[in-house]
Each structure stands twice: as structure tokens, then as C-alpha cells.
A and B are shown apart, each in its own frame.
Chain A
């Protein structure tokens, strides 16, 4: 395992190309579209950047989103992703390789995931040995937990952020090991890239000070740690404040205070060490060490307490008070099945790797142990943070497997000091063990391919369903509706829909929207929710006040699609009730027995609200097949209660082929007041 050399480079290239191949293969079914919701916004911003230049992008005020409020994009977005894509596009065009920006965006994520494999290899090689590094790179190339964010077409911050994370950690470990300013500055530059890419940089800025603090506690203080951290903190702080979105947060918010506290502590400790060399009094030293430890403990605990009370978002207790946070399914805690689904055998073997790391402890392995413990806690609390757990799980499982293979794979006689004749385990047992381990790894690879092809590789804009004979039926209703909007409505028309579809409407239909996935303004979203849950007249007033021209809803009753707006309806009511408790009451939409029903037994408030009317308009006459009555909703498995729907202030503008997307036009006010007689 020690004489790999060029072969190791070949293996790395192999793992990178395997990854690219898997992802690009799966893309061949669908054309190169940038799918999923937040990605449309990132693509639109990148397009704006390449068309108008960097300074226009930084100062961009988007008036086509969050009508009538608008959104200051330059100051509320992490520019790293757009700048990276823009830079690649610029360089390629400079070399006269004409590539459209859309292609750059689509293929950016797989390229960066290959880079992640390489940086994981480097990091694990620093921590353990080369063999473990290679295993780690192979693991992270195919593990499902990371693939979900790095398929081709997934143009989101996490795609480049994980690469930046791993690379920063590699440079940090290198700088702690060597104690040279060169590596520390490299780490700062990589950290700057991470800050520009993702909000998860807070993880780095808390993990590295924690590492330094634990090293102090373990009495492993050395000049190298001092140089590395001091350089990192000062230059990293200054660089991170260059991003407009971050601004002055590093010196104000409690999330960054731990780094400052540890910096001060380190200076004090180093100063005391310096004094100790000059003075020779025994009691002085002991007393000051105790004093330092006590002060350190107090400072650290108070900082943690401040952080805990200040930013409780990660603990999900805000969900009781802010329904928007609770309604995003990625903010839920994690079941064990999710761990197993995303990580398979790795989650079983990574505690073993953790055990080996701690048993053979040194400075770097303290770091990875802390990384593992904090990542596993956060991943247990929020499903979305499984992504930060994946790299460290890959690394530690690689360590565990490397340990096993090291002892069972090599030939005993060829070692440096061959063990005695009778204390060898015997080749039979060793080969059996090796074979079984390889089988486990093969099962892992097979599982990853299955997960990738089934769970993470269909663009959510295009739905695929399978008929009885196994042939695939593609439902392209979303794109059909967006292109209808694009071609048949006025350029300045305003479209009201629920916030999930905001980015898609802005990107694909190119129309002004009221609310979108950024969800930065809860009251505005509550207003839209109130309009959807009130009866038609009250809703019409709200829509007139917001200047709405079209309303777009998703209805899954014809094909049995369960992600439609009626299933999300209760969240609209809850969010609206949070802001307008007098007008909207959640209990009004339930039957007296407490059920949510759309048939005749349903609550009259529900049967007359705008969302119900828009979803089921003309649906009462539609008979899907002769076994069910007309107006049978396939998603809710019920015959709808209110079949004879008349709309007074809206008119139907467009319904897609499978009734998935329905667009209504808001009528203007009457010319003549009808209530006056004559």
C-alpha cells in the first residue's frame, strides 16, 4: 500500500470519471434543464452576472420578485456560486471555446464533486495514510448523501460549498502539522471562498476554535498551533467581512464569538508560556495554569450559552412559533432509516473509525474526532445537515476499512518485521475476511447506484410515471404551463402562487412573482395564504390591493399527484392565521369531528374558499373512468363536495394537459356598479 505513486493518481482520476459518468448518463434521459426550485434563482442571477458585469450584479435590485416589495439581491445572496460559474464561462470564452452559461451551470456540480473527492483524499492522507485516502475518495465519489446535491443540473450552493469545506479543512490540518504561515494563508483564502459560497461557513469558524481549545485542554499547545490559529483568525476575519451579505456579522453575532474568545485565550496562554520560560517559580506556574483553565472554562461556557439562547434555529424549537420553518420538510429531525439510506455500510463502520482515531490520538485526529461528533449531532437534529456529516463519515469509514485491509490483505512475510511462525492468523482466515469485506463494499456500490438512479435523478420539473406495461409516461405539465405564461401574458403581468413555485415562475415564465422560495418576508407570504384561504370576494380585495393579474395553482386530483396545493393547504392556513388570527382560523376548515375532508361532509369554509374553487372548477363534470363518479379526486380518494362552482371575479385562463397546473386571470373591476338599479 505504500508504493502506489502514479497508480494513486490513476485511481483518483478513475473515481472522478466514474462519478461524472454516472451523473451524465442519468442526464441523457432529459434535456439539459436546470431543475428544482432554488436552482432557477441561482441560474437567473448568474445569467444577470454574465450579461451585465460584476458590479451590476453586486448592486442588483430585483423588482420582478416579491412584488411590490422587490428584493435586494446583491446584499442577500452568497455570490460564490455565481462568480465561479461566471468566471469559468469568461475564461472558456476567452479561449474561444464558446459555451453557453446554461451548460456551465448544469455541469458545474459534477466537476466540483470530483474536486471534492480529491480534497477528501488529501485530507484523509494527512490524517491516516494513503490507503485510507484512496478509500475515502472512492466513498465520497458515490455516496448518496452527497450525490443528491451534486447531480448534473443541481446548481446550488452546496455543490461547491462541500468542496470548499474539505479543502479548507485540509489546509488547516496541514498548517497545524507544519506550523508555517504559507499553509495558514492558504487556509484563509480557502475559507474566504467558503464564506462566499455558503452560510454553513459558521460550522468552520466554530469547529476550528473548538479544535484549538481542546488542544489547549489536552496540553498539546505548541508553536505550530499558535502560528496557525493566529494567522487564520485575523486574516480569515478580515476576508470574510468582504462579502456584502456577511458584512459586520463576524464581530457582532454570537455565532462568531467563540472564535474571538479562543483567540484571546490563545494569546494569554502563549504569553504565560513565554513568562514561564523566563521565570522559574513553581507555584507561579501551577497557579496561573489553574487560573487560565478556569477563566477559559467560564468564557467558553458563557459563549456557548449566548449562542444557545441567541440562535436556536438549529434545534427546531422555533417551529412551534414560526410555521414557515416547520413546513419545510428538510428541517425535520432524522430517522435512522435516513441515515442508512444515505450512507449504507458507512454509517455502521464510521464509529469504528472514530474509535481507532481516538486510540491513536495526535493533533490532527483530535480535529477529525471533534468534526465527527459535532456533525453527527447536527445531522441527527435536521435532515438537511446530513450533507455536512457525509464527508466525515466517508473519511472515518475509510480509516476503519484501511485498518482492516492493512492487516488482512498484505502478505505477512513481506513486512518489515515478520511476526513469529505461530502468531500469524493463517492465510485461510485472512482471505475469507478479505473476501467478505470486499463483498460488503460491492453491496455498498450497488446500493449507491440504485439510490442515485431512483431517488435523485429525475428533475422535479418533469414528472415520470410508469404504466401497467412498464413503459414510462412523462408529464411535462409544469413546463407547458410556464411557457404558456411566457408567451400569452403581458410582459409586466404579476402572478400570484404559493412560494414553492416562485423561482420557477420567475425563471421559466419570466414573470413578476409575489412570493418565492427565499421566504424572507413572512407577512407577505401570510397575505398570499390569506387570499388563498378566504372566500372569493375577500380574496378579490386582497388581490386588487396587490395588483395581481394571474393566479397559478397546482392540482393533482386528475393524476393522483400528492404534492399539490390542496395537500399544502393547511400550511397556507396556518401561516395566514399566524398573522391574521381574527380572520382565519384553522379549526374552521375541519369538520366537527376534526377531519380535513373535501367531499360533501367537509367544512363549508373549506368548500367555499378560493383554493378549493380554483382547484375544482369544472372538475365536477369530469369523469376519469367509469368505475368512479364524476368529480372524483384521485389524490384524496374522495368525491368532491362542491361540484357546481361559479367564479365571479376570476376566469380560467389555462389548464395544462393533465390538469396539473391551472392558471386563472383576475378580472378587472366592473365598468358600471351593478348594485345601482338600472
Chain B
């Protein structure tokens, strides 16, 4: 009596309804072996499944899994709350400790892995996400999903309130300090404070801190074969954070000392010391800067007094 196609249809709509219900509770469906076999492997199926195989238990100590999980959650959330949400694509997760049989069945031994199970046919090579090449950023995952399923997901991350909160806190602290010292606001008018902060800002900028902020280089580089730590990057196109800490502050300080030595009203002995210290600082640190510069610009022919 039961026409196989209508039986199939009712089974399919049951499965889809079940998946929709789970998705409404949680964007990423947690699956164990049974659920996997029933919903992903067994026909009938007219929907795609994007599954992340991971190992999130703390004793597995997989830091990458946790980071990838965050990105995956962001992607699944964006999908669930987007206007293009249909019942054709579902996001799921299989943890190693819950579904190790699935891992064995698929011959998988690394985590995290992202697989796409299309609605029709077997998964092909392109249905495995190339984690090494692309990284696990949600935007890259979304592009891969769009590639495989023709469904465009726009990744919307929840607004990060940490920044404005911190700013508000800072302003409150400053306001509090200003209020407490409101009878004695002399420090605002002190030229030394302003001159010093301007100086610091200029030194920070010219020593390449913005480059560090944008490119994020390592502090120093340890040569894996010889074990030697090098603080200076070999080429002139890049730099390590260690390099930028040796800045021009010493030379500047030297120049300032020189001038102060000539004009300040201290006694003569101290002024002589300041003068000598000033010129010493200038020459020494400038030569050092020059030698580092030579190390990066091979072919620079000039050296200073002290190599």
C-alpha cells in the first residue's frame, strides 16, 4: 500500500523538520554516531550538511579546534539569522569523544576538519576544506560554503563592545583625576608634560610601531638549525619587534642634554658632565644605528667611527 516515493517523502520531511527544530535551538547541531548515520549518510536527503570534525574536550588540548569552533559558530549564527535562510543547508559538529566511530568510518585522524556532504552524490575532493591553505576564518569558510552549495552567507559578527567599554573606563578615570585635582590644574599647563608626550609620540611613530601593529611580526627569530636568536631581520623590507625597541631616544636625549648643558644655571661641574654625556650618547648610539642599518642594507658602503 505504501508507495515507496511517498514513504520516502514523509521520511524526508520528518528528517528536515527534526533538523530545523535542532537548528532553531542551536545553530550548530551536535551529532553523535547514530545521528550522523541517520541524517547525513542515510538517504533520502535533499539538503547539504556542513560538518566540523573536532576535538573540543579539554584533555585533548587542541587550541586550534577551539579557535576554529568560534569561527564556525559565528558562521552558523550568521546563516541562521540571515534573510536567505532555507532548509537546504545545515551546520553540524561531531566531537571525537562523542562520535569516534564516525572518525573511524571516514578514516579521519586530524582535527579540526570541515567536510561538506552534498545533497546528491558522494563528497568529492573539493568538499574537504583546505585548512592549511585558507585558514579557519569565518569569511574564508563562508566563501568555501558558497563555492560548494551556491548559498552566500554574509558573516556578521556580534559587535565587539570591549573597545568602547575600555574607552569609557579610561575617560571616567581621567575625569575622576581631573575632578580630584581641580584646584590644582597646573600639570595641564606644564610645558614639560606636553613636550615629553609629543616626544614620545614622535619616537613611537618613527620607530615603526605602526608597521608592527598592522603586520604583527614576531619579537625575534630563532634559527631552527643553529639555535641562534637573531633580533634583526635580514632584509630591509621587514622588521622584528625587537628592532623597534632600540629607538632614536638616546640620540635625542643626547642633543637635549647638550643644549641644556650650555644654558642651564647649574654649577659648572655638572654642566660639563651633562655636555660630555650628551655628545657621547649622540655619537655612540648613532654609530650603533648605522651598524644595524648596514646589516639590513647590504651594500651600504659607509661606516661610522665605531663599527
Bound CA span A252–B202, Å = 33
For the complex formed, measure the closest distance between the CB of B110 and the CB atoms of chain A, giving whole angstroms.
15
Bound CA span A590–B134, Å = 11
Residues of A within 8 A of B272 (CB): 425-426, 429
B271 touches A594 (CB 8 A): no
In the assembled complex, B258 has its CB within 8 A of some CB on chain A: yes
Pick the contact of B297: A341, A358, A403 (CB < 8 A).
A341
Bound CA span A337–B294, Å = 10
In the assembled complex, B239 has its CB within 8 A of some CB on chain A: yes
B251 touches A433 (CB 8 A): no
Knowing A355-B195, A587-B133, A587-B134, the reply to whether A336 touches B215 (Cβ < 8 A) is no
In the assembled complex, B248 has its CB within 8 A of some CB on chain A: yes
Knowing A354-B199, A354-B202, the reply to whether A336 touches B259 (Cβ < 8 A) is no
B252 touches A348 (CB 8 A): yes
Bound CA span A356–B199, Å = 10
Interface residues of B in 245-271 (CB under 8 A from A): 247-249, 251-252, 255-256, 258-259, 261-263, 267-268, 271
In the assembled complex, A407 has its CB within 8 A of some CB on chain B: yes
A432 touches B199 (CB 8 A): no
29 contacts between A and B (CB under 8 A): A333-B211, A333-B215, A336-B207, A336-B247, A337-B208, A345-B286, A349-B251, A350-B202, A351-B206, A351-B249, A352-B252, A352-B256, A359-B195, A372-B202, A373-B201, A376-B205, A377-B205, A379-B206, A380-B206, A380-B209, A408-B262, A423-B268, A425-B268, A429-B276, A433-B258, A436-B279, A443-B302, A446-B302, A594-B130
B198 touches A336 (CB 8 A): no
Beyond the given pairs A355-B198, A373-B202, 20 more chain A to chain B contacts, judged by CB atoms under 8 angstroms and listed by A's residue number, are: A334-B208, A334-B210, A335-B238, A340-B289, A341-B297, A348-B252, A351-B252, A352-B259, A354-B195, A355-B252, A361-B191, A372-B202, A404-B259, A447-B302, A450-B301, A581-B143, A587-B134, A592-B130, A593-B132, A594-B132
Mask of A341-369 contacts with B, CB within 8 angstroms, 1/0: 10001011111101110110100000001
Knowing A335-B236, A355-B199, A404-B255, the reply to whether A425 touches B271 (Cβ < 8 A) is yes
Chain B residue with Cβ nearest A352 = B255
Interface residues of B in 169-199 (CB under 8 A from A): 191-192, 194-196, 198-199
User: Chain B interface: which size bin?
Assistant: 35 or more
* Interface, chain A (partner B; CB < 8 A): 316, 333-341, 345, 347-352, 354-356, 358-359, 361, 369, 372-373, 376-377, 379-381, 400, 403-404, 407-408, 422-426, 429, 432-433, 436, 440, 443, 446-447, 450, 581, 585, 587, 590, 592-594
Chain B residue with Cβ nearest A333 = B211
Mask of B137-151 contacts with A, CB within 8 angstroms, 1/0: 000000100110000
Bound CA span A587–B144, Å = 11
**Residue from B215, B255, B272 with most neighbouring chain A CB atoms (10 Å):** B255
Knowing A340-B289, A407-B259, A429-B275, the reply to whether A443 touches B211 (Cβ < 8 A) is no
Residues of A within 8 A of B276 (CB): 429
Chain B residue with Cβ nearest A320 = B139
Residues of A within 8 A of B251 (CB): 348-349
Bound CA span A422–B207, Å = 41
Pick the contact of A337: B147, B191, B248, B293 (CB < 8 A).
B293
Residues of A within 8 A of B100 (CB): none
Main secondary structure of the interface of A (DSSP, over half): helix
B133 touches A336 (CB 8 A): no
Pick the contact of B195: A348, A358, A590 (CB < 8 A).
A358
Mask of B22-57 contacts with A, CB within 8 angstroms, 1/0: 000000000000000000000000000000000000
Chain A residue with Cβ nearest B293 = A340
For the complex formed, measure the closest distance between the CB of A447 and the CB atoms of chain B, giving whole angstroms.
7
Chain A residue with Cβ nearest B251 = A348
For the complex formed, measure the closest distance between the CB of A268 and the CB atoms of chain B, giving whole angstroms.
23
In the assembled complex, B283 has its CB within 8 A of some CB on chain A: yes
B259 touches A403 (CB 8 A): yes
Chain A residue with Cβ nearest B249 = A351
Chain A residue with Cβ nearest B276 = A429
Residues of B within 8 A of A345 (CB): 286
Bound CA span A400–B211, Å = 27
Pick the contact of B198: A373, A404, A447 (CB < 8 A).
A373
Bound CA span A581–B145, Å = 13
**Residue from B134, B202, B205, B237 with most neighbouring chain A CB atoms (10 Å):** B202
Chain B residue with Cβ nearest A339 = B206
Chain B residue with Cβ nearest A396 = B202
In the assembled complex, B304 has its CB within 8 A of some CB on chain A: yes
Bound CA span A338–B206, Å = 9
B304 touches A443 (CB 8 A): yes
Residues of A within 8 A of B73 (CB): none
For the complex formed, measure the closest distance between the CB of A130 and the CB atoms of chain B, giving whole angstroms.
18
